[in-house]
Amino acid sequence: MAAATVEVSGLIAISGATSDENLASLLDGATAGFRSELEAQADGLRKALKANKVTATGDVVSAGVVKLDEGRATVIVAATGTVTNKKTAEAEPRNYRLRVDLQEQGDRWLVAGLEFVA
Protein backbone atom coordinates (compact mmCIF):
# COMPACT_ATOMS: atom_id res chain seq x y z
CA MET A 1 0.00 0.00 0.00
CA ALA A 2 2.88 2.37 0.75
CA ALA A 3 4.30 2.11 -2.78
CA ALA A 4 0.91 2.88 -4.33
CA THR A 5 0.39 5.84 -2.00
CA VAL A 6 3.80 7.32 -2.82
CA GLU A 7 3.25 6.98 -6.56
CA VAL A 8 -0.24 8.48 -6.51
CA SER A 9 0.94 11.34 -4.28
CA GLY A 10 3.66 12.12 -6.81
CA LEU A 11 1.27 11.96 -9.73
CA ILE A 12 -1.42 14.23 -8.34
CA ALA A 13 1.10 16.82 -7.18
CA ILE A 14 2.94 17.10 -10.50
CA SER A 15 3.46 20.74 -11.44
CA GLY A 16 5.14 22.66 -14.24
CA ALA A 17 7.88 24.10 -12.04
CA THR A 18 8.76 20.73 -10.49
CA SER A 19 7.93 18.35 -13.34
CA ASP A 20 11.50 17.09 -13.80
CA GLU A 21 11.75 16.02 -10.15
CA ASN A 22 8.16 14.75 -10.08
CA LEU A 23 8.66 12.58 -13.16
CA ALA A 24 12.01 11.24 -11.92
CA SER A 25 10.29 10.09 -8.73
CA LEU A 26 7.42 8.48 -10.65
CA LEU A 27 9.87 6.67 -12.93
CA ASP A 28 11.85 5.41 -9.94
CA GLY A 29 8.73 3.72 -8.56
CA ALA A 30 7.73 2.02 -11.83
CA THR A 31 8.42 -1.42 -13.28
CA ALA A 32 10.34 -1.54 -16.57
CA GLY A 33 7.16 -1.85 -18.64
CA PHE A 34 5.28 0.95 -16.93
CA ARG A 35 8.44 3.04 -16.86
CA SER A 36 8.64 2.80 -20.66
CA GLU A 37 5.04 4.04 -20.93
CA LEU A 38 5.77 6.97 -18.64
CA GLU A 39 8.99 7.85 -20.45
CA ALA A 40 7.17 7.88 -23.79
CA GLN A 41 4.75 10.51 -22.45
CA ALA A 42 7.16 12.46 -20.22
CA ASP A 43 8.34 15.14 -22.67
CA GLY A 44 4.83 16.00 -23.82
CA LEU A 45 3.59 16.11 -20.26
CA ARG A 46 6.48 18.34 -19.13
CA LYS A 47 5.84 20.78 -21.97
CA ALA A 48 2.08 20.92 -21.30
CA LEU A 49 2.56 21.45 -17.56
CA LYS A 50 5.04 24.27 -18.12
CA ALA A 51 3.14 25.93 -20.98
CA ASN A 52 -0.08 25.93 -18.96
CA LYS A 53 1.67 26.97 -15.73
CA VAL A 54 0.11 24.07 -13.85
CA THR A 55 0.49 23.90 -10.09
CA ALA A 56 -1.03 20.90 -8.37
CA THR A 57 -1.24 19.73 -4.78
CA GLY A 58 -2.78 16.65 -3.33
CA ASP A 59 -3.07 14.20 -0.48
CA VAL A 60 -4.00 10.56 -0.33
CA VAL A 61 -7.00 10.24 1.97
CA SER A 62 -7.38 6.46 1.93
CA ALA A 63 -5.95 3.36 0.34
CA GLY A 64 -6.69 -0.32 0.53
CA VAL A 65 -5.36 -3.55 -0.91
CA VAL A 66 -8.09 -5.23 -2.95
CA LYS A 67 -6.02 -8.10 -4.33
CA LEU A 68 -2.82 -9.77 -3.19
CA ASP A 69 -1.15 -12.68 -4.93
CA GLU A 70 2.41 -13.94 -5.00
CA GLY A 71 4.45 -10.89 -5.93
CA ARG A 72 1.46 -8.91 -7.23
CA ALA A 73 -1.07 -6.60 -5.63
CA THR A 74 -3.84 -4.21 -6.58
CA VAL A 75 -4.48 -1.15 -4.44
CA ILE A 76 -7.32 1.36 -4.70
CA VAL A 77 -6.30 4.88 -3.70
CA ALA A 78 -8.56 7.86 -2.99
CA ALA A 79 -7.02 11.32 -3.03
CA THR A 80 -7.97 14.98 -3.05
CA GLY A 81 -6.12 17.96 -4.38
CA THR A 82 -6.19 21.30 -6.12
CA VAL A 83 -5.05 22.44 -9.54
CA THR A 84 -4.28 25.90 -10.85
CA ASN A 85 -3.19 26.86 -14.32
CA LYS A 86 -2.97 29.96 -16.49
CA LYS A 87 -6.73 29.82 -17.17
CA THR A 88 -7.94 29.56 -13.56
CA ALA A 89 -8.34 32.49 -11.20
CA GLU A 90 -8.10 30.30 -8.10
CA ALA A 91 -7.26 26.72 -7.18
CA GLU A 92 -9.85 24.21 -8.35
CA PRO A 93 -10.58 21.22 -6.11
CA ARG A 94 -10.08 17.71 -7.47
CA ASN A 95 -11.04 14.24 -6.25
CA TYR A 96 -9.20 11.20 -7.57
CA ARG A 97 -9.76 7.46 -7.42
CA LEU A 98 -7.05 5.25 -8.84
CA ARG A 99 -6.39 1.55 -9.24
CA VAL A 100 -2.70 0.82 -8.86
CA ASP A 101 -1.24 -2.52 -9.94
CA LEU A 102 1.97 -3.41 -8.15
CA GLN A 103 4.66 -5.98 -8.73
CA GLU A 104 7.25 -7.07 -6.21
CA GLN A 105 10.81 -6.78 -7.50
CA GLY A 106 13.51 -7.69 -5.04
CA ASP A 107 12.73 -5.87 -1.81
CA ARG A 108 10.55 -3.20 -3.47
CA TRP A 109 6.98 -2.98 -4.69
CA LEU A 110 6.86 -1.11 -8.02
CA VAL A 111 3.92 0.23 -9.98
CA ALA A 112 3.14 -1.91 -13.01
CA GLY A 113 -0.01 -0.01 -14.00
CA LEU A 114 -2.12 2.90 -12.88
CA GLU A 115 -5.64 3.79 -13.90
CA PHE A 116 -8.12 6.48 -12.89
CA VAL A 117 -11.42 4.84 -11.95
CA ALA A 118 -14.90 6.09 -11.04
- The string of pLDDT tens digits covering residues 40-61 is 999 999 999 999 999 999 999 9
> What's the total number of domains in the chain?
1
pLDDT in tens, 58-93: 999 999 999 999 999 999 999 999 999 999 989 999
Q: pLDDT band at residue 12, thresholds of 50, 70 and 90? A: very high
pLDDT at 111 over 90: yes
> What pLDDT was estimated at residue 76?
98
**In CATH, what number is assigned to the domain containing residue 68?**
3.10.450.50
Contact 67, 73 (CB under 8 A): yes
Amino acid at 85: N
Cα–Cα distance for residue pair 39/28, rounded to 1 Å: 11
For residue 46, which amino acid is it?
R
Q: What is the extent of the structural domain holding 96? A: 2-116
